[in-house]
């Protein structure tokens, strides 16, 4: 049924059919593999690997683990303990990557960047490259099956493509994985930030090896985890290594902390994109007492990011779930971002943990945040343009052109020449 878009004053402006949103070619540039496992698959793998779950039904897990709202980011992240536990074999990693790609293809996503922390799955039987190769096998199989369709191979519609983003962890402790337990034990008397530095640098090196020696489409390096108390600068060496080896960078920042976190991401880690960036334009979220003129700081930071087209990977449902002070989506800062002409793209973050899809996130933006058809096209196409596409620049330009042509054909199908 049609969705009613509103302008910035909340006045109805046009009808956007949900079928139109579903059929559009889309991206998801911020989606975590371990937060996007199909619940039946989670249950199946838990039984196979003898992992205890609070419930063995989808309804039970929705009630106890994967909730509609969470008290904070920590509670939101609790579900990852279960998904991580079942992703400790090559078979499980390959299966879940394959299914994630299929789920995206089913709703019109044509370019997907899957991110996860390989070191959470490293143990005596799998190193980081082994983990990455398993995930790639699943994604590649789904891509090859999709692109073998006559309409794709015949050029009537664009192909499905993907990239892999490696996530370093801002912090970790014993028990996060066998890899992290061994690392902590080996450096028991070293400062924590030194151990964090070593882990992220080792992952950056593994990412480059996976890309350059094994030909895997590792397209980006990320920093994830709790922001407060775990500054981005502790990981500067790893991001410098990524930079020197032409690996693009995105950083979780401004999700549960203030603008200072985003400042560190772009100045210390040279981020090309920002994961979330929810508090970028919120002076009241600043914690640094040395920043006296908060409004001026936020204005300058926003201008810097806008001028350099550093794209914000916005995850509406996830932000609503993990920020209890945000009572509904109409309060989300996405509207401010658009008014400031910042580069934004709509993402899911975690399809299972947030019980969402890209299509649903776009629909929510239309319903609650004044996204009209012009904005919609700009945001979706910019997702393709600001992707970390694994091919050459010339190949990427051709791919984006095919996406724009296909997008406009869908527009004509639904709206005739009124596009």
Please say if the pLDDT value at position 402 is more than 60: yes
Residue from 307, 306, 326 nearest 316 by CA? 326
Burial (0-12, 13-18, 19+ Cβ within 10 Å), 148: exposed
Q: 301: number of CA atoms within 13 Å, CB side?
A: 27
Sheet with 273-276: strands ordered across = 26-32, 109-116, 161-169, 218-224, 248-253, 273-276, 311-314, 344-346
Q: Which of 255, 260, 313, 411 is catalytic?
A: 255
Are 249 and 310 spatial neighbours (Cβ–Cβ below 8 Å)? no
Please say if the pLDDT value at position 12 is more than 60: no
Q: How remote is the C-alpha of 371 from its chain's centroid?
A: 21
Catalytic residue status for 75: no
What six digits make up the tokens of 392?
């050459």
CATH, domain 2-415, list 3.40.50.2000, 3.20.20.140, 3.40.50.720, 3.40.1260.10: 3.20.20.140
pLDDT band at 295 (very low <50, low <70, confident <90, very high): very high
Whole-number pLDDT of residue 338 = 93
Q: Return d(Cα 16, Cα 373) in angstroms, integer.
A: 7
Residue from 301, 329, 384 nearest 110 by CA? 384
Query: pLDDT tens digits for 31-40?
Result: 999 999 999 9
Whole-number pLDDT of residue 7 = 44
Whole-number pLDDT of residue 24 = 98
Whole-number pLDDT of residue 10 = 42
Whole-number pLDDT of residue 317 = 96
Q: Return d(Cα 170, Cα 228) in angstroms, integer.
A: 10
Average pLDDT over residues 346-353: 97
Query: pLDDT tens digits for 301-337?
Result: 999 999 999 999 999 999 999 888 888 999 999 999 9
Beta bridge partners of 15: 4
**Domain coordinates in residue numbering, the chain:** 2-415
């Amino acid at each position: 049924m049609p969705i009613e878009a509103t302008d910035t004053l909340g006045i109805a402006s046009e009808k956007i059919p949900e079928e139109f949103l579903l059929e559009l070619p889309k991206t998801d540039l911020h989606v975590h593999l371990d937060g996007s496992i199909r619940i039946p698959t989670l249950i199946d793998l838990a039984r196979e690997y003898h992992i205890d779950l609070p419930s063995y039904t989808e309804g039970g897990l929705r009630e106890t683990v994967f909730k509609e709202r969470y008290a904070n980011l920590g509670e939101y992240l609790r579900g990852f303990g279960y998904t991580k536990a079942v992703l400790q074999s090559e078979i499980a990693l390959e299966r879940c990557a394959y299914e994630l790609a299929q789920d995206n293809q089913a709703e019109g996503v044509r370019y997907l960047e899957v991110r996860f922390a390989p070191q959470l799955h490293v143990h005596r039987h799998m190193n980081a490259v082994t983990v990455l190769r398993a995930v790639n096998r699943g994604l590649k199989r789904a891509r090859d099956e999709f692109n073998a369709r006559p309409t794709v191979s015949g050029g009537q519609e664009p192909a499905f493509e993907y990239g892999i983003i490696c996530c370093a962890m801002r912090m970790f402790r014993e028990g996060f994985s066998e890899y992290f337990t061994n690392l902590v034990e080996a450096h028991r008397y070293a400062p924590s930030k030194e151990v964090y530095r070593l882990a992220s640098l080792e992952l950056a090196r593994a990412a480059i090896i996976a890309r350059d020696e094994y030909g895997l489409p590792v397209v980006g390096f990320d920093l994830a985890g709790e922001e407060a108390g775990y500054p981005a600068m502790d990981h500067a060496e790893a991001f410098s290594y990524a930079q020197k080896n032409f690996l693009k960078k995105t950083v979780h920042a401004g999700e549960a902390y203030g603008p200072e976190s985003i400042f560190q991401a772009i100045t210390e880690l040279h981020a090309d994109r920002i994961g979330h960036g929810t508090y970028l334009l919120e002076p009241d979220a600043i914690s640094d007492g040395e920043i006296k003129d908060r409004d001026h700081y936020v204005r300058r930071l926003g201008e810097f990011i806008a001028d350099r087209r550093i794209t914000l990977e916005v995850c509406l449902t996830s932000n609503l779930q993990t920020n209890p002070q945000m009572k509904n989506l109409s309060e989300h800062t996405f509207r401010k971002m658009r008014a400031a002409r910042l580069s934004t793209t709509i993402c899911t973050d975690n399809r299972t943990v947030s019980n969402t899809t890209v299509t649903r996130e776009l629909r929510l933006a239309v319903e609650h945040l004044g996204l009209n058809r012009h904005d919609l096209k700009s945001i979706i196409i910019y997702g393709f343009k600001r992707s970390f596409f694994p091919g050459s620049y010339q190949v990427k330009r051709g791919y984006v052109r095919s996406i724009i042509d296909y997008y406009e054909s869908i527009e004509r199908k639904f709206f005739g020449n009124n596009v």
